[in-house]
Structure 1
Amino acid sequence: MDSSGLGVRRAVGFVAPALVLIGIFLVFPALWTLYIGITNYQLTGLAAANPQVVGLDNLAEAVRDPLFTNSLWLTALFVLFSAVIGQNVVGFLLAWLLRSVSPWLRRTTEGLVLLSWILPSTVVAFLWFAVLSRDTGTLGLLLGQPETSWLVQYPMTSLIIFNVWRGTAFSMLLYTSALAAVPPSQLETARLVGASGWQTVRDVVFPHIRGHVLTNTLLISLWTANDFTPFLLTSGGPNHQSEVLPVLIYRQALEGGQLGYASAMSMLLLLGNLAIALVYLRLLRRRA
């Protein structure tokens, strides 16, 4: 049924440009990655000119590769502590606390948090590198430990704090919108009966925003799992201690020239993303 009255041809004409762009920049690269993931395709050499299909050998090799299992573990830690816990908690706390402050302070705080989110990754990485670097780093000078090289001695901790700082803005905006939908009468009733802040959040606020929490957790988890910004700060070092999966895939593909092997790792990362999405959909269905 054509409820808009445009007709089939006009409707197709409207969506055709978007479909073409999606096909060129999303569908084709995904299919190409799947194809070269089952080949021994390399950046240079004979395998670059004449790649051979190796089936699932690349996947089997990746599962046995200590570098891959190490990166998988680091990625899980990165997602858990910087996104699921860090951005979720800090974003909600900011949204909750900014409800009762003056408008100018709320707008100023929201603007500063948003600034960290909208700045280009290279600019933000350079600023944090200056803060965490050895000898002249701002953090070391403030703490009286100028010789501490934070990115070398505590690489994953530095990346987690960096990602929380940078990505909290989205969670804050989403929770600010969600909290606006909580009935004020219920919040007032909780205050009159003497409920604590935690009891109010648990028994009054959370039932209303549970769907928003699930949506936010899904999005920030997927973004963090595929984030390449850690490469700009640590390049996966030292000694692979901060080499999350996107960084490992990059290094295998462009530094090692193993495009087929790196594509197989990308396929495993994609399967992980799909698993996270399926868990989210299951939780959302149970809530409904």
Structure 2
Amino acid sequence: MRAADRDAAGLGPVRAFGFLAPALVLIGVFLVFPALWTLYIGITDYQLTGPAAVQPQVVGAENFRTALADPLFGNSVRLTALYALCSAVIGQNVLGFALAWLLRPVRPGLRRAVEGLVLLAWVLPGPVVAYLWFAVLSRDGGTLGLLLDRPATAWLVEYPMASLVVFNIWRGTAFSLLLYTSALAAVPPSQVETARLLGANGWQTVRDAVFPHIRGHVLTNTLLISLWTANDFTPFLLTAGGPNHESEVLPVLIYRQALESGQLGYASAISLLLLVGNLLVALVYLRLLRRRA
């Protein structure tokens, strides 16, 4: 193929690179450099204060070995997986699709009102949402305790992970709702009607007539919300990882090791392990998408 055929816009290599340069600079400054810097910090004994803050020493893979042998790290990995699975993969996926499916025949005005209310939970800043839920779950006059006639129940202390799962489902369902609403609009209505005429119930219609058309959207949505949830720092605003590390997901563990304990090198090593985990999850989803294609 000739160069002129490859360059359909007629920009030439220099001008084309000029258009790409701003994006490449932003990626380099905000993604590549922080990742490389974190890698460097992760192989040192860098600390927030003390002699190691001025002259950190390279310790190689010691931080990684310490993390893999640390019970707190193992506990955080388990809690992060549970948090992402229950609140994102299951909760947000199922509720987002259910809302999108149920709102299809609803009048446009009512549908937009419901979508707006769901979106409101998503667009509000994290600290604001965390404060609202803290007021709902508080032991001192919390709304949930009053509604259930259990005013003395400390929900965030007695049921920390369950509280975080419900909170994240409530907050993050809007993205799944929007994505599935768009996906369902592309499903041929004739196939849905045919399935109903053949006597299929609701679940059979979704499984046989709808899901084959939106399978790629399901995988894409699951990938995005899983990664967002696994890297979410909002749980710190509700429980701070407590009580007794029972809700200490990986982002909270990294924060506490870095800023509370001052172990920046160790915290960076955990960050890199979290990054590797994210990449492995992304590769699994991408492989599934490629198999579908």
Q: TM-score, normalised by structure 1?
A: 0.98
What residue is the counterpart of 2:96 in the other structure?
91
1:100-144 per-residue CA deviation (whole Å, 9 max, x = no partner) reads 111111000000000000010011001000110012111111111
What residue is the counterpart of 1:190 in the other structure?
195
1:2 Cα deviation from its structure 2 partner: 2.1
1:176-232 per-residue CA deviation (whole Å, 9 max, x = no partner) reads 111111111001111111110000001111111111111011000000000000001
Q: Distance in 1 between matches of 2:177 and 2:42?
A: 38
- One-letter amino acid of the structure 2 residue matched with residue 67 of structure 1: L
Q: Distance in 1 between matches of 2:286 and 2:67?
A: 28
What residue is the counterpart of 1:153 in the other structure?
158
1:10 Cα deviation from its structure 2 partner: 2.2
What residue is the counterpart of 1:25 in the other structure?
30
1:59-102 per-residue CA deviation (whole Å, 9 max, x = no partner) reads 01001101100000000000000000000000000000000111
RMSD over equivalenced CA pairs, Å: 0.8
What residue is the counterpart of 1:73 in the other structure?
78
Q: Distance in 1 between matches of 2:202 and 2:87?
A: 24
What are the ranges of 5 or more consecutive residues in structure 1 without an aligned counterpart? Answer: none
Which of 190, 197, 216 in structure 2 is aligned with 1:211?
A: 216
What residue is the counterpart of 1:247 in the other structure?
252
What are the ranges of 5 or more consecutive residues in structure 2 without an aligned counterpart? Answer: 1-5
Q: Distance in 1 between matches of 2:115 and 2:71?
A: 42
The secondary structure found in structure 2 opposite 1:232 is helix
What residue is the counterpart of 1:51 in the other structure?
56
What residue is the counterpart of 2:3 in the other structure?
none
Mapping 1:112-131, distance limit 5 Å:
112-131=117-136
1:237-277 per-residue CA deviation (whole Å, 9 max, x = no partner) reads 11100000000001000111100000000111011101101
Is 1:262 the counterpart of 2:267? The answer is yes
1:15 Cα deviation from its structure 2 partner: 2.0
- One-letter amino acid of the structure 2 residue matched with residue 173 of structure 1: L
1:1-57 per-residue CA deviation (whole Å, 9 max, x = no partner) reads 322122322222222222212211111111000111011111111111111111111
What residue is the counterpart of 1:11 in the other structure?
16
Q: Distance in 1 between matches of 2:16 and 2:125?
A: 36
- One-letter amino acid of the structure 2 residue matched with residue 199 of structure 1: Q
The percent of aligned pairs where both chains have the same amino acid is: 79
Q: TM-score, normalised by structure 2?
A: 0.97
What residue is the counterpart of 1:37 in the other structure?
42
- One-letter amino acid of the structure 2 residue matched with residue 123 of structure 1: V
Q: Distance in 2 between matches of 1:11 and 1:282?
A: 31
- One-letter amino acid of the structure 2 residue matched with residue 89 of structure 1: V
Is 1:175 the counterpart of 2:180? The answer is yes
Q: Distance in 2 between matches of 1:28 and 1:171?
A: 32
What residue is the counterpart of 2:142 in the other structure?
137
Q: Distance in 2 between matches of 1:61 and 1:202?
A: 46
Provide the aligned length of Structure 1 versus Structure 2. Answer: 288
Runs of 4+ in 1 over 6 A off after TM superposition: none
Is 1:100 the counterpart of 2:98? The answer is no
Moved more, 4-13 or 136-145: 4-13
Q: Distance in 2 between matches of 1:272 and 1:135?
A: 39
